[in-house]
Amino acid sequence: MDDMWSNHEPMDSADTPTDTVCTHPSYRPRRKHPTAEELAAESMAADMEKWITYIPGDNDDSTSEPFSQWLANNLPSQLSRTDGIGRIAVAAPGYNIMDDALEDLIGAQESWEQLKACGRPINLRTITDIAKVHSVIRGKWLFYTSTGLKVDHLWSLVAQGVVEGRCGISATVTPYNPHDESGSHVIGVYNNNFTDYEQVMDLEHAVRLLGIKCQMMYKPIIYSKLGIYSNNEWGLQPSVYKSVYDIVKCCSRVMELTRSSHMPSHAGDQPL
């Protein structure tokens, strides 16, 4: 289903939360930087655990519980990874989270192994080729926040925006993990196609309109599915865009972190 490390997405060096709007004085960074292999293994383990999901609508797959009640009963700060909960998720109206299973992950893995064995360059372009062939083209804007009232509040903003159809196709948040020294959660908001620059930027703008002012990173799902995290042996940057909100100017600036002929090149920062 998703792709986050332990109780949250693996934190790349460029992803370290620095925005005081979204972090807490008690925030503690990790003492140890796990390897890419460790991150991939933890992500897979979390994917196998229970998901608590809200699906709006009135069909057979919809959640019968009122959204406000569901939200109050499933606060990320109150649900624990140690109870076997991997993710908390919401879907936009008309979007079936189960459709994510249609992604050809086995085929993508096979193509990835072939790419590594053939000696071709391993970069965003060749990885994007794999993503397109096997329909693994979702991406997400993600950000980190401290546990407690902060994560519960920010998650409520995002979840409501998604359920009301104002922001993305789905969103996830990680539960509290008492074994994670950072005490943080990650919230991810998804779109259909990471190669569609306008769609990616529209989603960034929609997230900002919800009131989110954290530093955000944009990551194609294919990276996580192939086990490409920070500290990987190819020196790849798992995130392709970075968004920083300027509280004084009341606007965000999006920076491109990598170049590829499959991704539009936009020189400089992009005020939105």
Residue 1 in this model has a pLDDT that exceeds 60: no
Secondary structure, 3-state, the chain? CCCCECCECCCCHHHCCCCCCCCCCCCCCCCCCCCHHHHHHHHHHHHCCEEEEECCCCCCCCCCCCHHHHHHHCCCCCCEHHHCEEEEEEECCCCCHHHHHHCCHHHHHHHHHHHHHHCCCCCHHHHHHHHHHCCCCCEEEEEEEECCHHHHHHHHHHHHHHHCCCCCCEEEECCECCCCCCCEEEEEEEECCCCCHHHHHHHHHHHHHCCCCCCEEEEEHHHHHCCCCCCCCCCCCCCCEEEEEECCCCEEEEEECCCECCECCCCCCEEC
Residue 71: CB partners within 8 Å, gap ≥ 6?
A: 54, 156, 159, 160
- Condensed to tens digits (0 to 9), the pLDDT of residues 235-268 reads 899 899 999 999 999 999 999 997 543 444 443 3
- Identity of residue 41: A
229 φ, ψ (degrees, to nearest 5): -125, -175
Tokens of 81: 């990874």
- CA of residue 260 relative to chain centroid, distance: 21
Domains defined along the chain, listed by start: 13-271 (3.30.760.10)
pLDDT of residue 44: 65
Average pLDDT over residues 46-56: 86
pLDDT of residue 179: 86
pLDDT band at 75 (very low <50, low <70, confident <90, very high): very high
